[in-house]
Structures are given as structure tokens and as C-alpha cells.
Amino acid sequence: MTHMSHSGRIPIKAVSLQIENSADVDVCVKAVGANDDYILCLIFDENDHVLISLWSLHEHDEILPMRFTLIYHNKSSLNLFDLPANNSEHLYIASTDGDFRMLDLLKIKPKTKVLALSTDDTAQQSNVLQNKQLDRLVCLSDDMIAISTIEHINFLDRKNLSVILKRIDLNETLFNWHMINQDDNNKIVITIDSSQTFITMYRQEKNDLSTLNPMKISFRSNVQYIQLIQTTTIMDNDEKKRAYILILLDDKTIQLLDTNKLSQTSLQPKGLFTRIKNYNISNTCISACEYDLNCPLVMQSSNNRTLTSELLYSFKNMNIEHITMLNNGQYYVVVNSEYIVYIYSLHNLDRSIFEYNLKIKSQSKFFSFQTYDSNIIIFMFIDQFIVLQLKFYDIENIFRVQWEQILSIPIRDAEYSLEFTPTKRFLILKQSLNLEDDPNLNDFRIFSCDSQFKISPITEPITYIKSKIASKGKITAFMRYVSLYTRPVLWIAYHGTILHVRLPSYLAELEIRSDYHSWMRHSLAIYGKTTEKSSLSITITSLAVKLPSDSCVASGADDGSIILWHLTGKCTHDVLDSIHMDTITCLKFDINTSRLFSSSLDRTIAIWSPITLLHVLRVHIPIERIDLFSISNILLARGKFWGFARLMMFYIGNYLQQSPSIQQNSTKKNFQNVPSAQACDVASWAL
């Protein structure tokens, strides 16, 4: 059905009616008839009188011929008419004071004049719910009509409107109700509680018109909006679209309910993550803080290679802002809103075994921290970062600071990331330059790290000397980097070219090989395949190296292209199929297989083996980052939705098998044995 408010034309093939000066006029248009070969138009004027028109729809007609136009002079509204789902030729319409009409649209004789509905003999008329103010009419099924007043929802027998089959009180606990269709054309009444934390559904039993069984579905947050949609989710076993109820909650999250599986357990997604403040991933767990829960959430790998989620209620009143784990998940490290650091043993959350006040060390903005090995913590501030090495004392059962370092960084009022190279010999700092004309440019700094974890800065930023003569030949800003596993080498992206840095040097260089002057040029490789000049301005936005062999590097660009550069043998590369239509935001190799995972702003995640496309996951928000939690076969994807970070979790065990037998269009997922798959927050589906 098409609904237009204010002035405009009825959207049909030829101009048949013009509405002039109609700020208070509403128009509804619907195709009716067995083959949708008629157009029904209802126009509600400023006095809520209704003009009902039926137009024949013929493919070759320049002007749609009008069959009839009737005026219903009783006061009505958009909510007081409906057509049965299985018989769109019957129009039911009522006035606010209880006058009820049923029109068999195709049996009304063609008329050239506009007539009043009261003079038409083919309209069946009756009075319902006299002395009541009607506000909504819906055809529930072949046998039932729902009409609501401000006091009740009344379910009437369509064949005998004087019989009220069922009545639901609309008192102060109910503020709204909605209708949904099921596959069998039956409809369900949904009422929303005034506190908006649950909905109640009433479904008609097939053989009992007087029975409407209630069912309650609860939510963690208030219900703001409900709509019926047709879509497909990654939880489905095929790509056929199904009918879902879309529920928008006031914490800006969306949940879906299958209309043919109406139960609390069928609500998707089923997780606890909502608006994410931050999260950390270690080898064995995922820990997160979010805005709506007052205690952190931790998901850990169990012995059967699945994730178990747990809310840490012991931290409920501590205002935890950040959480991660130390020493392979043996300890929780938390930072509260006062920037006090605490460490707790996994087996005793009632007593802290370490306390450290960050405010004493720095007055600048604190935004993140990370743990390394069994005793290293790095706290990141806008203008500096602090490195702590801890020592555990068994007798006292506490941690103490063995030494600390405070290292300054260039002040740009921008957050940054810190990452050790795989050998832990170097620490790489990446910080955005915040340039409006090129937001992808970053400053990279190198810090060397000795065997005692003492960190020393290499004062110069990573630099590429493009020309020793020209003053503009010195380049110190780049897009992305990735570290090799077997050698102290960084691969650095500068626009469409990949450079390398041999650590501890800070100088970036071209990769020169005998076959080519510089063979790792993403833009030239794409240009050679497409011959489009626009490809010469491609910017690399993501890099990944295949670990632990370092046998190839993957580069992704802002045009959605991905190239695999093979570092062993001859100078060769493979351009992957054009799957992504927007910027590549992240590339990840699974360390145990040859699988490559790519994410894009076009709301897709692709799985490759290594150049063959295995599968495409379609989600409903642009993806900014992906992480592989291989120990439990979980892919974690992060994106922003309504200004907040969101996490989505996918079970990918089927795609980490050695045999690349999975078809591109297969969407079958095995969630039954993976309880952690329920811990995703936002919808893992395409809306």
C-alpha cells in the first residue's frame, strides 16, 4: 500500500488525479484483484470524509479508465479500512461512530459520476460497537475482524458483526497494538506494554474462533517501534526471504522475530552486547564493557572449543570503563571511571591483588590499555603511554610494579594504536594525522624493545625518500602497515604502492626485483587488469601477511579490490574477484589454514581460500574491523551503528576446514553446538 501525505500526484502510470492545496489530505493507493489489475485509491480530506475510486489497470492504456468513484461522507480515518489478505476485492471501511461498510469492489457497476456511498446498493451496511469511538480496523482472518476503541480491542465475527468473539482491555498498561501476517494468511495481534519492555501476541487458533492464545516476549530495553519486514538472515538455511517482526529498542539496537516461530527463544540476536565502549581480544577470551550494562562481559574458550559468556556481577558497582585479561586469562585487569587500575585473580573477584592510580601519572585523556605476556601492561594517553612490568609475589599473593616507563608521543589530540611485532623486538605506534583532504594518512613511529622489555624510541618517524633532490620528496605519512613473522620487516602502504622497512631502520624503500622496477604497486596491478585510469588513484586501506610462513601479503584498497602478493619464488600476484563494492577495511589470514577474510564498508565479509571465494556474509552495518578467534572458530566483526560501536559474532568452523568445498551461495550455518554464537549484539543479517 502506498501512503502519501500533503499535496502530490497518485503514483500510477498516467496522470489521473491531481490533488491541489491539500496540506491536510491523505492518500492511500493499493493494487487489487486476482492479478493486481485494478488500482484502489482512497483520499481522506481535511474533514476525514473519504473519496473511494477504482481504476482499471491495462498495460497499453494511456489513461487509466475509472470504474467508479464513491464518496463516504461519514467521518473516517486511515486506520479504519482494510482488505483481507486472501481477498483484496473486498474493502472494509468504518466511521469513527460505528457505521460499518463492506464493498465488493468488482461487483460495483461502472459509473461515470461521483456518487455518495449511501446510495449504492452493493455496499453491505451495519452498525458495530454503537456509542463507542472507533480508532482502528483490521481484517484478522477469513472469519475475524479486529476493531479497537480507546477501551478495548474487539474481535468480531465477519459473518455476524454483532457477535464479539474476544475482547482485550486497553487500559493504562497497553499503549499500542500492531498486526502481523503469517504464511497461512492468519494475522496476529501484538500489544505493547506501557513500560515498553515486552510485547504480548495473540494468535487465533485455526479451529476455534473464540480462542486467542496470549504469548509474552520480553526485551532488555524499551520497545520503540515495530514493523513487519521481508528479509533473509545468516541463521536461515537458504536464501529465501522470510517474514520477520523488526523490533527497534531505545538502546538503538534491532532484534528480529520470525513470524512463524513466535517464541522468546526465536528472538534474534540473543546476545548481551549492545552499545560497546571497548573490547579486547586475547588468545583465550574476549572481554568488553558497554554503555547499558553496569558490569563487564567476558567470553572464554572452554575445553570443547566453544565460548562461554559470563557477566562479572562482582564488578557491578565499580563503574568499570575498560577490562582485559593478563597471563593467558588468569587475571582480570580493570580500569574504573576514576582511572584506578585493579587486578583480580580469576578465582577470587572479591579482593584485588594490585592497585595503581593513573591520575597521578598523567592528567591527559586516557583512552585504552593492553596487556602482553604474563606481566606487561601498556596504558595509553593522548600525549604519552606508560609501560608497566609487574612481578607476582606468591607468599603475599599480590602484584607489584617492577619498573615503569613513560614515553612521550607527538601531541595531535588523536588516539593511536600500539602493536608489537611478532618477535616482540619492536613496538609500532600508528597515529592518524587527522587531515581533512586525506583522512587515511597516519604517522608511524618505531620503538625498539630489549630482552627485559625496556622500550627505546627511534626518534625519526618512518620516512620514504622519494627523491633526494626535490624538497617534497621526503614522505613521512602512510596508510597502513603489517609486520612479517620470520624477519624484522614492515610492509608499509603509501597510496597505491607497498614499501618495506628493514627494522631497526626507519627508512621505507621500494621492493626492487629484476623483473620489475617496483613490483608491489596495487594501483598498477588493477590498472593492468581494467585499463581504467581511475584505478591509478587507488589508495591501499588494509594489509595482511600470511602467518607464520610470510609467504604472501594481501592488500585491499578503497575501490574494494584485493591483491595477493606472493613473496616466495617469482614476482607474482593474484587479483581476487570483484566482490566488495566499497573500501576494504580489514584483511585477516587464519593462522591455521590458508583462509583469507576481508571486510568492507559495503556491509560484506568475504572468505577466500586462498584466491577462490568460498562465501560472502552480508550484515546490516559497515564493517570497520574483523578479528579471528580461531580457538573457538569465531569471527568477530565491529562496526558503528547510530554512533555506537557494535559487535557481531559469526561461527565460521565450516569455513576453516582444509577442503575448500563450500559453495559461494551457501548460507547454512551450524549454530547448534556453539552457544557463543548467541553472544552477538546487532543483527547478523542483511536488512
Residue 171 neighbours by CB distance under 10 Å: 9
Mean pLDDT of the chain: 78
Residue 18 is given by DSSP the state B
Check residue 305 and give its pLDDT: 56
Q: Which residue has the higher pLDDT, 36 or 485?
A: 485
Mean pLDDT of the 73-78 span? 88
Of 167-171, 313-317, 359-363, 668-672, the least confident: 668-672
pLDDT score, position 589? 93
Residue 313: band (very low, low, confident or very high) from pLDDT cuts 50, 70, 90: confident
Q: Bigger pLDDT: 562 or 152?
A: 562
Phi and psi at 324, nearest 5°, equal -155, -175
Residue 440 confidence (pLDDT) above 60: yes
| Residues contacting residue 559 through CB under 8 Å, at least 6 positions apart | 526, 534, 535, 538, 583
Q: What is the pLDDT of residue 212?
A: 67
Does 497 have pLDDT greater than 60?
A: yes
Collapsing DSSP states into helix, strand and coil, what is residue 201?
Answer: strand
Task: Give yes or no for residue 119 having a pLDDT over 70.
Answer: no
Among the listed residues 418, 412, 340, the one whose alpha carbon sits nearest the alpha carbon of residue 383 = 412
Q: How far apart are the first and last CA of the chain?
A: 20
Residue 234 has a pLDDT of 45
Mean pLDDT of 36-61: 82
Identify which has the larger pLDDT, 24 or 623: 623
Q: Which amino acid is at 318?
A: M
Q: Which residues of 481-509 are buried (b: 16+ CB within 10 A; e: fewer)?
A: bbbbeeebbbbbbbbbbbbbbebeebebe
pLDDT of 598: 96
Q: Does pTM surpass 0.75? A: no
Q: 634 or 369: which carries more pLDDT confidence?
A: 369
Q: Which helix (H) or strand (E) is 522 found in, with range?
A: helix 522-530
pLDDT at position 136 is 86
Burial (CB count <10 Å: 0-12, 13-18, 19+), residue 313:
exposed
Question: Band of the pLDDT at 167, cuts 50, 70, 90?
Answer: confident
Q: Average pLDDT, stretch 555-580?
A: 89
pLDDT confidence bin for 442, thresholds 50/70/90: very high
The set of residues, in sequence order, having a beta carbon less than 8 Å from that of 516 and lying 6+ positions away, is: 571
Residue 325: pLDDT above 70? yes
Instruction: Name which residue leads in pLDDT, 6 or 333.
Output: 333
Per-residue confidence band for 397, with pLDDT thresholds at 50, 70 and 90? very high
